[in-house]
Amino acid sequence: MRENRSLYFNTALHSLFLFILCAVQSGLWYRLFNGFPQPFFWVLFLTYISLYRDPQETFFLAAFSFLVVSSFSLIPHGSMFLVGFFICMFCMYIKDRIFWPGPSYYLLIASICSVAANIIYYLLVFLFEETSAPDIRWLYIFLQCLLTTLISPILYFIYQILDKLSGKEQYIPMDEVG
């Protein structure tokens, strides 16, 4: 029962933090930085839960985060869901092959996922959207991925603090081997 309480509290903390990040990204960011590319806060959240949660909890949190993020975004819901699903699957696949705990691993995977999210989104737009494909703004995408990479260690430590506050232990795949 205590583990369930910890899970619910952890889910609520992460959801509240993701809500705040999405509000900053979609509203406050444009006021402060006037069109400068914003980091992918949702991709960083998906990367963290995919690396440090078991698969069932990852998919639950990813689906719940989709509900939080969808109200802040203009991206079609189907595209957003597929981008999030592919990011989670990619992170879990990589985690099963190569893993070391710590912020350097999270930084590496978060930077790969920020590039992959753009690629996946544009592929989905080219394949499934009926309207014309948007122009690819290379400098904007580069700055967005760079900023996401630079902010990822800060969010890693914030997510660690949220896990410690809620009493949630991380799921590390190496714990199973031994």
Residue among 71, 49, 59 at smallest CA distance from 170: 49
Whether 19 and 68 have beta carbons less than 8 Å apart is answered as yes
What single-letter amino acid sits at 117?
Answer: A
pLDDT computed for residue 89 by the predictor: 93
- At 81-131, the pLDDT tens digits run 888 899 999 999 998 888 888 899 999 999 999 999 999 988 888 888 777
Tokens of 58: 């990852």
Tokens of 9: 């509290």
Question: Could you tell me the pTM of the whole model?
Answer: 0.87
Distances (CA, A) of 104 to 14, 110, 150: 21, 10, 12
Residue 98 carries which DSSP code?
S
* Confidence tier at 65 by pLDDT (50, 70, 90): confident
Q: What is the mean pLDDT of residues 46-71?
A: 87
Question: What φ, ψ does residue 37 adopt, rounded to 5°?
Answer: -55, 135
Distances (CA, A) of 57 to 53, 74, 114, 139, 169: 6, 27, 22, 36, 12
* Confidence tier at 178 by pLDDT (50, 70, 90): very low
What single-letter amino acid sits at 62?
Answer: A
